Amino acid sequence: MEALPDNWADIQPDTVYLSTSGLLVSFAEEQIKLGLKYDQKGKHLKAIMKGQVPPRGNVGLVTSQESDYDLKSKVLGKGGNRRFHAKFIDGILHFSGLVTEH
């Protein structure tokens, strides 16, 4: 199993990667495009690598409020107004390309 790259440009669509927290993750082509556009510094990728965290004051994955989605990436500071949402499909956290702003 390949480790999750720290750069959106190195991620292949629908390939399953292993995050540092032990979570299996995959990304749709649409999500990779959004990552390249909105996450040049890779903050969301770092949050995805970190895994689930308590919702207040942490960078990582937190519960998504979107219906049919399980988790969302949360980053603080610049770029922190966007969230990338994902759902578990057969034990793999899949980012399909849903981005929200808060």
Cα–Cα distance for residue pair 55/29, rounded to 1 Å: 27
Right CATH number for 2-101 from 1.10.10, 1.25.40, 3.30.2310, 3.30.420? Answer: 3.30.2310
pLDDT, position 64: 97
**Domain layout of the chain by residue ranges:** 2-101
pLDDT, position 80: 74
Closest of 30, 31, 27 to residue 19, by C-alpha: 27
Considering the entire predicted model, what is its pTM? Answer: 0.94
Kindly give the confidence (pLDDT) of every residue in the chain, 102 residues in length, as a single tens digit, with 9 standing for 90 and above: 899 999 999 999 999 999 999 999 999 999 999 999 999 999 999 999 999 999 999 999 999 999 999 999 999 887 678 999 999 999 999 999 999 997
